[in-house]
Structure 1
């Protein structure tokens, strides 16, 4: 796939945000990562620490930017207005504290929409925020960057999936043998399916709440995954051992919350946990059995996500069918954490180059 914009690198950083977001009079500067997806608008502001970073502010709002996109090929006026209001709230947050560097990206909805670039130009004019459209490959790389700390000694490979609003990203990852701690893994294959929880919910409608409709989605997704498997022999690698299955997205964190019988969702308990896949499969069955009203009342779902949970579960079920593994590592992290990690690493690099090698 051709990149829709210049890929991130320390040597060619994305265009900085407007100077209105730099406020040197409010304490030490932080880093900010903004992700405008098909369903959500999310902001994470963090300060670096010796072991990673500490979150100092955040924002998340369901905006349904991709509503109707699959049918029209364009972002709807009402969807753009919702996203613009959320991004304006993000700009207000950013204006209240010093920001050393801001990375703001848009993903599948803006990649696919004929008016995606025009919408982002409107956002720049209205709020000063400059968002760049990233490729599916960079989306997979950023998810890999954020989840790499969850790999453990003995892992040869990792299969990471991210079930988003407009697409599902699959990353096939190689862990370099004998690598020093902190050495990033290698992305050796990726797949971007234009099948996410929003696109599937719009297309399947009520059918995902029926067994027949649910398994129609599972069959469709599994067909695409099987083609990817034939190229990379992933199932064969799983049988050989040393392959970690990792999932990041609202679908997999919801499954974890249900499997762990949490009275309400708590990120610290979920992020980084490894589930027995049998427990996750049982949680899927429990969610399906709840029906619409039960899902709306469930503390790990809620009314705003009712339409999206079962389509996401169908994608997860397809992944399990094609790549059966005994365990699943759950990550409540993704693009924003990956962007923050990259920005902070790039910010430290010049200081190391200036100091030169130890004598």
Structure 2
């Protein structure tokens, strides 16, 4: 679906004759965070980051209890989107994509909020489906696959949901989404639950078993565990949960994306990091240099979902990806822009040499 050309920074760039040139921007308004990424293509088929922004907005706060986005949550999200819009006015853009995910999919007033956000900021924000969310995560993480990988199982533990993507990897470097499932369980929804919580051993086990039951149904459809036993399947994770586990396992004094993104982590080390996090308690989580007070409440719920994934799909290692929807959107836009001149040239050749 093409983006609406409403933001002035996008409209002013449409006169640029070189479709491979220019700046691209992606905005991901999630259940917990609002994130912006701005980049330019590189000759290697990737991109160079020019600007980034992330703000905790807690858009899904209270959603599970009331089925609605709260006034406070919408105000925080709108303020963050306005900051993104102001940042984008600083440079002309080739293309812009702006999406929102599970919180707006679930909330009865989600579409109304998105319409308000579009009108207030000029950003062409839209609600994407769970399938498109899984496809974008796949697109961002595909560069981490290797030639011997015939399949990949990618998990993305979000604020309001968890996406699981079952991927076929082709020898020529392309990927195909074989199947996906979106569980309505994320770190925010679990953190806000009443009763059993992930901070106690009993509550943690309860959440693990609940998620295991959901994942087992998906496994029965695609026989993923059997495929993993046969070999050639890469387990990959993209979320704050798995990057935090990697940071703790590596005993980093502070979080460092270059040391984490693409790291192949032994799952035994990740499991030990999970136990270490559980032992820290609330105060220890808030003080940890790889976590901090804003994320402390969401670490153990994410760890419970990760533990369920490990239980259903045992693997000797997990590839950690500090990348997500924003990176997937940038790569998709750049690929589409490069493909457009090729299609035009193909049509021109066909018109010049019609079939007899």
TM class, shorter-length: over 0.9
Cα deviation code 1:49-91 (max 9, x no counterpart): 1111000001100000000111111100000000000000000
SS at match of 1:207: coil
Aligned to 1:256, which of 233, 242, 246?
A: 246
Q: In 1, distance between residues paired with 2:344 and 2:120? A: 39
Superposition map of 1:32-181 within 5 A: 32-51=25-44, 52-176=46-170, 179-180=171-172
Quote the offset at 1:352 in angstroms: 2.0
Secondary structure of the residue that 1:203 maps to in structure 2? coil
CA contact (8 A) 2:9 2:91 kept: no
Q: Does 1:217 align with 2:207?
A: yes
Cα distance in 2 between the residues matched to 1:314 and 1:170: 15
Residue 18, structure 1, aligned to residue 12, structure 2: no
Q: Is contact 2:161–2:186 with CA below 8 Å preserved after alignment? A: yes
Aligned to 2:36, what secondary structure does the other structure show?
A: strand
Q: How far did residue 21 of structure 1 move? A: 4.7
Counterpart for residue 331 of structure 1 = 321
Cα distance between partner residues in 2 of 1:350 and 1:216:
50
Runs of 4+ in structure 1 off by over 4 angstroms are 20-24
Alignment match, 2:290: 300
> For residues 228-269 of structure 1, what are the alpha-carbon distances to aligned partners after superposition, in whole Å with 9 as ceiling and x for unaligned?
111111110111111100000000000000011111000011
Q: Is the 8 A contact 2:190 2:197 kept in 1?
A: no
1:42–1:60 Cα contact (<8 Å) kept? yes
Unaligned runs of 5+ in 2: 350-356
TM-score (norm. length: structure 2): 0.93
Name the counterpart of 2:225: 235
Deviation at 1:295, TM superposition (A): 0.4
- Whether the 8 Å CA contact 1:159–1:170 is kept in 2: the answer is yes
Report the CA distance between 1:18 and its aligned residue: 2.2
Give the drift of 1:16. Answer: 2.4
SS at structure 2 position matched to 1:209: coil
Compute the displacement of 1:312 (Å).
Answer: 0.2
Classify 1:205/1:106 alpha carbon distance in 2 versus 1 (closer, same or farther; 3 Å). Answer: farther
Aligned to 2:272, the other structure's residue is in SS state helix
Q: Distance in 2 between matches of 1:224 and 1:207?
A: 19
**Structure 2: distance between partners of 1:210 and 1:295:** 14
Q: Is the partner of 2:271 in helix, strand or coil?
A: helix
Instruction: From the superposition, tell whether residues 204 and 240 of structure 1 become closer, same or farther in structure 2 (CA, over 3 Å).
Output: farther
Q: Give how far 1:152 is off.
A: 0.8
Distance 1:39 1:100 in 2: 28
Name the Cα RMSD after superposition. 1.5
Secondary structure of 1:187's aligned partner = strand
Alpha-carbon distance in structure 1 between the residues aligned to 2:222 and 2:247: 32
1:288 lines up with 2:278 in the alignment: yes
**TM-score, normalization: structure 1?**
0.92
- Alignment length, in residue pairs? 340
Tell me the CA shift for residue 205 of structure 1.
Answer: 6.8
Write out per-residue CA displacement over residues 287-321 of structure 1, whole angstroms, 9 at most, x where no aligned residue. 00000000001000000011100000000000000
Q: How does 1:336-355 map to 2 (within 5 A)?
A: 336-355=326-345
